[in-house]
Structures are given as C-alpha cells and as structure tokens.
Amino acid sequence: MSATILVLNGPNLNLLGTREPSIYGAETLADVEARLAARGRDRGVGIDFRQSNHEGELVTWIQEARDRAAAIIINAGAYTHTSVAIHDALRAAGLPVWEVHVSNVYRRETFRHHSYISGIAEGVIAGFGTRGYDAALDAAVARLAAPPPS
C-alpha cells in the first residue's frame, strides 16, 4: 500500500482564488488539490487534502494522522501565528511536517513573522504562491524514500 501524505489547510484558505489575488494568486484551493493529487499519483503517494476553519477539527485530524499518514504538509493559515494546540498536536503526531505559506509572511505585518509550527517543521516554504505546496510534496516524497540516518 502506498504512503499517504496529509495536506492540511487552515482558516480562510477556502477563499483562495476568490479574493486578494495580489497576495494569494488566482488559483482556488480545489485547483491546488487537483494538482497535488496528480503529482502524488505520479510519485506513488496518496494525498489526503483537507481544509477547516476550526482549530479543534485541525487538531483532531492531526491526531488521527498518526495512524493514517506518513507525513504532514500544513498551511495553518492564521492559526500558524496563534495556536499552541496545533503545535502540540503536530509534536505528538511524531510525523515529519512541512509548513507552507502562499504569501511571503516576512514581508507582511509583524504578527505574521512568528510561527508556532516552524520550530518543529522539517522545512518551511513561504512566498512561492501555491507552488509551495508542490515543493513541500516533493520534499516529503524525497524524505519518505530516503529517511535521514537516526
């Protein structure tokens, strides 16, 4: 059975492609999901792609990932900057994590410069638009194929 990579999206990311294209681009989240599903198929992994506006739902999905997924790619949206609960759940899951942001958060307001996720992530991708998800997927696939020596 092939590995599954959980791709989680936090609050308001369901609005991608509908508003603020100068910050977030024109692609919808459904476009990103379709592209990642195809990329995952090409690379022999399954993609479980989800979005929620609710912190607790994201926490539950991260907890469940422990038994269902081999890696997590997460754009936690604004919860990136606020959520100790998501930080704790990611730590507890014990899976490799890649953090993605569509925009370059370091060019924006200072409250977006701190992340509760970066410190436990294998890698952080910000400011490459929705292509950041593709880069994170490739990094996760490479890591699953050749885990680092322990």
Mark 67-106 with x for binding to ligand CA2 (rule: CB under 6 A) and - for no binding: --------x-xx-x--------------------xxx-x-
H or E element that contains 46: strand 46-51
Q: How far, in Å, CA of 141 to CA of 105, rounded?
A: 25
Q: What is the DSSP letter of 90?
A: H
| Residue number, 34 or 145, with CB nearest to ligand CA2 | 34
Residues in the interface with ligand CA2 (CB under 6 A) total: 16
Minimum CB distance to ligand CA2, residue 69 (Å): 20
Q: Check if 24 is active-site.
A: yes
| Residue number, 105 or 140, with CB nearest to ligand CA2 | 105
Q: Hey, which residues does 48 pair with through a beta bridge?
A: 6
C-alpha 90 chain-centroid distance: 11
DSSP annotation string for 14-43: GGTTTS-HHHH-S--HHHHHHHHHHHHHHH
Q: Which of 24, 79, 116, 133 is catalytic?
A: 24
Q: Per CB under 6 A, does 107 bind ligand CA2?
A: no
Q: Check if 54 is active-site.
A: no
Structure tokens that stand for 57 in this block: 């739902």
Catalytic residues: 24, 101
| Interface contacts to ligand CA2, rule CB under 6 A | 12-13, 15-16, 19-20, 24, 75, 77-78, 80, 101-103, 105, 112
